[in-house]
Amino acid sequence: MMRFLLLFSRQGKLRLQKWFTALSDRDKKKIIRDVIQMVLVRPPKSCNFLQWRDLKIVYRRYASLYFCCGLEQGDNELLTLELLHRYVELLDQYFGNVCELDIIFNFEKAYFILDEFVISGEVQETSKASVAKSMEEADSLQETMEEYRNKPTY
Amino acid sequence: MAEVALYYEAYGYIYYCAAKDTVMSPSVRLQEMIRVIRSARTQGEERGIIQRECADIRAQFRQGDNGERSHSLAKLLYVHMLGYPAHFGQMECVRLIASPRYSEKRIGYLGAMMLLDEKQDASLLITNSIKNDLSHSSQYVQSLALCTLACMGSAEMCRDLAPEIERLLRASNSYIKKKATLCAVHIIRKVPELAELFTPSARTLLSEKNHGVLHGAVVLITELCVRNPDTLDRFRKAVPELVQIMKGLVTSSYSPEHNVAGISDPFLQVRILRLLRILGHNNDTASDAMNDLLAQVATNTDSSKTAGSAVLYETVLTIMDINSESGLRVLAVNILGRFLLNNDRNIRYISMTSLQKIVQTDHNAVQRHRGTIVDCLKDQDTSVKRRALELSLALVSAVNVRSMMKELLIFLSVCPPELRSQTASGIFNAAERYSPSKRWHIDTILHVLTKAGGDVRDETVPNLIQLITTASELHCYTVHKLYRALVKDIAQQSLVQVACWCIGEYGDLLLKGECEEIEPVQVTEDDVLDALETVLQSHMSSPATRGFALTATMKLSTRITDNVDRIRSIVSIYGSCIDLELQQRAVEYNALFKKYDHMRAAVLERMPVMDKNSPGHTNGETPGEIKEPDTSKPKPVEAGLLSEPASQVCDLLDLLGGTDTPLQPSPAPTSTPTTTSSADLLDLLGGLELTPVPTVSVYEKNGLSLKIQCDKQTETEVVINLIASNSTQTDITNFTLQAAVPKSVQLQMKAPSGTVIPAHGLGQVTQTVLLNNPNKVSLKMRIRVSYSNQGAMHQDTVQIDSFPSTACQPSISPL
């Protein structure tokens, strides 16, 4: 299973953090610091896999954002690269030509999309179209409720 | 959806955002806040803005339900992501989750996942909401509840809600089923006993057509099998079904929904392969059932893109881990070999990781790819280099040791610094196991020391010295080579130390000049002494190295003929050296020249061959060898004191066995008066059971005196007896002692013998303290005494600064 998923910028600013195990705040902060430091010093053409403590770190840079996750020993690193790519595709489909600013200003939606794609550190839906459809329907549900609230009572 | 165009200015460029954001139209306010925070120029400014916003948010929360709460919480979550405290939002999450509105639930659950974890008490409060939402009419609300439970559900919450999840596993639509399955996985990870609950449904889920549910089912079954061998046995019957599903995926026609780069649902394929691996491990029937499938996947999968490579990778891992036929195994190793030649660095990396796993079991198969692996040592990437190094070291064998070693030595000269010590130790290990000849072995070690002397472990020097002594036919060759290396460069301490030792021992061979295996070079006595003196005087030499050099110089006094006076003068100069160790040695050698000249030849003669692991040696060194002066090791012994007394002196200082040598007249020259006398003192407390343990007074005030007795029980345990006595006219009452020790030391105080100390020294109170010092830190203790005497309360503290672990002689500083 994936232990955590982090998105951070080239300056080391965290844009998204998803933890799939229970950790104290202090531990989380330390992991974030260590992993960001480790990944940012890697030269551009290097291997996307690292060994860190007892975890495998898989990361990939998309434009100005690093997508990085920590895996257990039994997990398939190449598949995780595909997973990260799938997540980026989902974001891209949702926001239309997604860029880092989209994720900054709409971070809650990035989380919602992630929660439709991954649960408990494992992939829950392997069909891209399915995830996109669920997001759309959930969003529309939200709108309906907003509308409902704004309608005058009769 | 109304289209609203919003323009944002961020860092000087225009950002155009289209309307889906009306979903949370007060996100305008969220986004406004984000914009303001980002425009802060300094950390201080940002903090100010955040403080204001948080005050606003807190006010919002207090106001109660007004439709704005979800926006405030969203803002708070952003602030939390920046690293600021957000715990005051926890209760708000609980409230929002209980709200009937979807938008509020959605943000409330997100808040719960980010702010609440199982350690917070507030997390229990949402259990009821989750339970209700799990049966909500809207599947999206159910989904929120499932997702949150799977993210932060504590063991208690999981126990409460497991039956609900199990129900959803069986009877719901595929959207909910897939989430419930993974939620079940989380529950099992938290509460393994609940695995039984989910086992029956897991089996039936395999017949689902929906890929999401199927994927979840495979993950669930994997989790169940990994935790329980009985469940594993039961699920073995599912192997044919899994093989069918897999076959369907591999041979199916193009399905756009799940296709990734030509592979049909690689996520599902990889998980099935992983489950098959677990089911087929150590089981012939299961392995047979999947043989054909694995062969098919291995040959037909297109690995030009990552997705295909991922599937192939998992297939290879599965083949290697089950009882597959040899043909299949060869196929797998060949795939890995192909991966090694791939342009993609990632693929090279994982192929080496996999080869590392099988190098022990399928050694020959991996050997075939040795050439490519060794080439990977030259890769630019450090991760790849590291893997290649580990694999290369594993592949060294008696047959290929010469060529491999050549490559590894080249690698050592160019490798990145973080890999150097691993390479050096790997080379040493390999050389020790497979060296074709002693000379080759010595050459290799010398080569490593020249290139990477700073990165080798401390035992290398004594190991090498020991090796050299055993290769008696090579002494001449060795000393010549070392001399030349020494003359060239004295920066590598380990090399210099070995060189000095050899020159000292075999100086006569060096001076003789001829040596069959190396071109003869005339070396004069002056040359040799010059070299040693350079080492002695150089600022690059460590104190240990200078010790070696001085002793070597001394040894030469019996091996050369003309320049003994020069040696005498060198030795006497160092008699006033600042370095205590050198000074001591020089003084002793001087004495050897003066008073004991008749013994000098015998004392300094050639050492016998040492064997490793002879009894009673510490730190990998044998008795009689020079112990490198090191503050952490026991005091070193004269190299010359080879005979019986020497080993006894050595043992004395070991303090593990030393007995009555100090009482016997020792035949060893008493040129070591300082060492022996301190050894006596040290030994008194370390070795002899009969010698009474001394009592030391640590506190004397107002008639109360406190004495301490140490008994060293084992390496890490010390027993201390505190004895209090009273010389005043009146009794001391309410006498109590408290003790404090450094953090890593464990203290156990036994009950005191009493709390009243009779007057006039007529009686004593004793108390025993047990100390356990596993980390062997320097022991300190602070003792507080409190007592009443003549109606007045007294309290005082004593600090005991050091208990040398051997002597237990405390040094005291009363506070």
- For A22-70, what is each residue's pLDDT tens digit? 998 899 999 999 999 999 999 988 899 999 999 999 999 999 999 999 9
With beta carbons less than 8 A apart as the criterion, state whether B209 and B173 touch.
no
Strand, coil or helix: what is B393?
helix
Q: Is the dihedral of CA B600, B606, B609, B610 positive or negative?
A: positive
Does B543 score more than 50 pLDDT?
A: yes
What tens digit of pLDDT does each residue of B38-65 get? Answer: 999 999 999 999 999 999 889 888 887 6
Residues in chain B with CB shorter than 8 Å from the CB of A141 are 102, 138, 140
The residues near B771 (Cβ < 8 Å, ≥ 6 apart) are: B717, B718, B719, B720, B741, B745, B746, B747, B748, B779, B781
Does B402 score more than 50 pLDDT?
A: yes
Residues in chain B with CB shorter than 8 Å from the CB of A83 are 267
CA distance B681 to chain A (A): 47
Return the pLDDT at B163: 94
Q: Is A41 on the interface with B (CB under 8 A)?
A: no
Q: Using the 8-state DSSP alphabet, how is residue B380 labeled?
A: S
Return the pLDDT at A144: 60
- Over residues B633-649, the mean pLDDT reads 38
Chain B, 43 to 62: residues with Cβ < 8 Å from chain A are: none
How far is it, in rounded angstroms, from Cα B362 to Cα B364?
6
Return the pLDDT at B765: 85
CB-nearest partner of A127 from B152, B179, B212: B212
Enter the tokens of residue B401: 């040791």
Long-range CB contacts (within 8 A, 24+) of B703-707:
B703/B727, B703/B728, B703/B732, B703/B789, B704/B728, B704/B732, B704/B757, B704/B785, B704/B787, B704/B789, B704/B794, B706/B783, B706/B785, B706/B798
Residue B721, amino acid: N
CB-nearest partner of B150 from A24, A120, A138: A120
Return the pLDDT at B11: 35
Q: Using the 8-state DSSP alphabet, how is residue B23 labeled?
A: G
CA distance B198 to chain A (A): 17
Return the pLDDT at A5: 97
Asked whether the beta carbons of residue B146 and residue A14 sit closer than 8 angstroms, the reply is no
Asked whether the beta carbons of residue B345 and residue A46 sit closer than 8 angstroms, the reply is yes
Return the pLDDT at B574: 86
Strand partners, A65: A9, A62
**Minimal Cα distance from B2: which residue of A?**
A143
Return the pLDDT at B681: 42
Percent of chain A with pLDDT over 70: 92
Asked whether the beta carbons of residue A105 and residue B17 sit closer than 8 angstroms, the reply is yes
How far is it, in rounded angstroms, from Cα B772 to Cα B193?
39
- Over residues B436-456, the mean pLDDT reads 83
Residues in chain A with CB shorter than 8 Å from the CB of B215 are 122-126
Asked whether the beta carbons of residue B151 and residue A126 sit closer than 8 angstroms, the reply is no
Residue B548, amino acid: F
Tokens 């004991």 — which residue? B596
Return the pLDDT at B693: 60
Does B623 score more than 70 pLDDT?
A: no
CA within 13 Å, CB half, B675: 25
Does B678 score more than 70 pLDDT?
A: no
Q: Using the 8-state DSSP alphabet, how is residue B138 labeled?
A: S
- Name the residue with higher pLDDT: B559 or A117: A117
Return the pLDDT at B665: 38
With beta carbons less than 8 A apart as the criterion, state whether A134 and B198 touch.
no
What is the distance, to the nearest Å, from the Cα of residue A33 to the centroid of all Cα atoms in its chain? Answer: 17
CB-nearest partner of A120 from B110, B182, B257: B182
Does B797 score more than 80 pLDDT?
A: yes
Please provide residue B129's backbone torsions phi and psi, each rounded to the nearest 5 degrees.
-60, -45
HEC sequence for B283-352 = CHHHHHHHHHHHHHHHHHCCCCCHHHHHHHHHHHHHHHHCCCCHHHHHHHHHHHHHHHCCCCHHHHHHHH
How far is it, in rounded angstroms, from Cα B486 to Cα B106?
74
- Over residues A93-108, the mean pLDDT reads 92
Return the pLDDT at A141: 83
How far is it, in rounded angstroms, from Cα B129 to Cα B93?
11
Return the pLDDT at B803: 64
With beta carbons less than 8 A apart as the criterion, state whether B272 and B246 touch.
yes
- Parse chain B into domains and list their residue ranges: 501-608, 695-800
Asked whether the beta carbons of residue A134 and residue B175 sit closer than 8 angstroms, the reply is yes
Q: Is B384 on the interface with A (CB under 8 A)?
A: yes
Q: How confident is the model at residue A13 (pLDDT cuts 50, 70, 90)?
A: very high
How far is it, in rounded angstroms, from Cα A119 to Cα A136?
19
Residue B51, amino acid: Q
CA distance B503 to chain A (A): 45
How far is it, in rounded angstroms, from Cα B531 to Cα B279?
68
Domains of chain A: 2-150 (3.30.450.60)
Enter the tokens of residue B387: 């893997």
CA distance B440 to chain A (A): 35
Asked whether the beta carbons of residue B25 and residue A146 sit closer than 8 angstroms, the reply is yes
Q: Is B67 on the interface with A (CB under 8 A)?
A: yes
Asked whether the beta carbons of residue B270 and residue A145 sit closer than 8 angstroms, the reply is no
Q: Report the first-to-last Cα separation within chain B, whole angstroms.
A: 80
How far is it, in rounded angstroms, from Cα B502 to Cα B469?
9
Percent of chain B with pLDDT over 70: 83
CB-nearest partner of B147 from A50, A119, A139: A119
How far is it, in rounded angstroms, from Cα B528 to Cα B504?
10
- Name the residue with higher pLDDT: B8 or B299: B299
Asked whether the beta carbons of residue B151 and residue A146 sit closer than 8 angstroms, the reply is no
Asked whether the beta carbons of residue A141 and residue B140 sit closer than 8 angstroms, the reply is yes
Asked whether the beta carbons of residue A96 and residue B18 sit closer than 8 angstroms, the reply is yes
Tokens 């529950």 — which residue? B187
How far is it, in rounded angstroms, from Cα B565 to Cα B407?
48
Does B423 score more than 50 pLDDT?
A: yes
How far is it, in rounded angstroms, from Cα A87 to Cα A114?
7
Instruction: Give pTM, 2 decimals.
Output: 0.70
Return the pLDDT at A130: 93
Enter the tokens of residue B88: 């005051």
Q: Is A81 on the interface with B (CB under 8 A)?
A: yes
Enter the tokens of residue B801: 């600064």
How far is it, in rounded angstroms, from Cα B511 to Cα B524?
6
Asked whether the beta carbons of residue B306 and residue A78 sit closer than 8 angstroms, the reply is yes
Mutation choice for B interface testing from A57, A78, A115 by most B CBs within 10 A: A78
Q: Is B347 on the interface with A (CB under 8 A)?
A: yes
Give the best-scoring range by mean pLDDT among B303-312, B372-381, B730-739: B303-312
Sort strands B717-726 and A49-52 into parallel, antiparallel or unpaired: unpaired
Give the best-scoring range by mean pLDDT among B266-270, B540-544, B744-748: B266-270
Strand partners, B766: B723
Name the least confident of A115-129, A130-144, B16-30, B734-748: B16-30
What tens digit of pLDDT does each residue of B114-172 get? Answer: 998 777 777 788 999 999 999 999 999 999 999 999 999 999 999 999 999 999 999 88
**Minimal Cα distance from A129: which residue of B?**
B257
Asked whether the beta carbons of residue A82 and residue B267 sit closer than 8 angstroms, the reply is yes
- Over residues B227-246, the mean pLDDT reads 92
Asked whether the beta carbons of residue B382 and residue A46 sit closer than 8 angstroms, the reply is yes
Return the pLDDT at B654: 38
Enter the tokens of residue B408: 């590894």
Percent of chain B with pLDDT over 90: 28
H/E stretch holding B638 reads none
Q: Is A147 on the interface with B (CB under 8 A)?
A: no
Q: How confident is the model at residue A146 (pLDDT cuts 50, 70, 90)?
A: low
Strand, coil or helix: what is B717?
strand
- Name the residue with higher pLDDT: B712 or B782: B782
Q: Is B222 on the interface with A (CB under 8 A)?
A: no
Does B582 score more than 80 pLDDT?
A: yes
> Residue B332: which of B367, B358, B371 has the closest Cα?
B358
Q: Is A136 on the interface with B (CB under 8 A)?
A: no
Q: Is B116 on the interface with A (CB under 8 A)?
A: no
With beta carbons less than 8 A apart as the criterion, state whether B659 and B678 touch.
no
ipTM: 0.93
Enter the tokens of residue B459: 């035992």
Asked whether the beta carbons of residue B266 and residue A139 sit closer than 8 angstroms, the reply is no
Does B257 score more than 90 pLDDT?
A: no
Task: Give Rg (Cα) of chain B.
Answer: 38
H/E stretch holding B694 reads none
Return the pLDDT at B688: 39
> Residue A122: which of B239, B214, B131 has the closest Cα?
B214
Name the least confident of A72-81, B327-336, B673-682, B784-793: B673-682
Asked whether the beta carbons of residue A127 and residue B179 sit closer than 8 angstroms, the reply is no
Q: Is A30 on the interface with B (CB under 8 A)?
A: no
Residue B261, amino acid: A
Return the pLDDT at A70: 96
What is the distance, to the nearest Å, from the Cα of residue B354 to the centroid of all Cα atoms in its chain? Answer: 23
> Residue B492: which of B556, B524, B527, B538 has the closest Cα?
B538
H/E stretch holding B98 reads none
Return the pLDDT at B699: 82
With beta carbons less than 8 A apart as the criterion, state whether B683 and B804 touch.
no
Tokens 């503050």 — which residue? B631
How far is it, in rounded angstroms, from Cα A66 to Cα A91?
14
Residues in chain A with CB shorter than 8 Å from the CB of B380 are 45-46
Q: Is A132 on the interface with B (CB under 8 A)?
A: no
- Name the residue with higher pLDDT: B87 or B689: B87
Does B27 score more than 50 pLDDT?
A: no
Cα angle value B763/B764/B769 (rounded, 5°): 165
Mean of the per-residue pLDDT values of chain B: 80
Superfamily, domain B695-800: Gamma-adaptin ear (GAE) domain (2.60.40.1230)
CB-nearest partner of B350 from A20, A77, A144: A77
Starting at the edge strand found earlier in the chain, the sheet holding B732-740 runs B732-740, B779-789, B792-803, B811-814
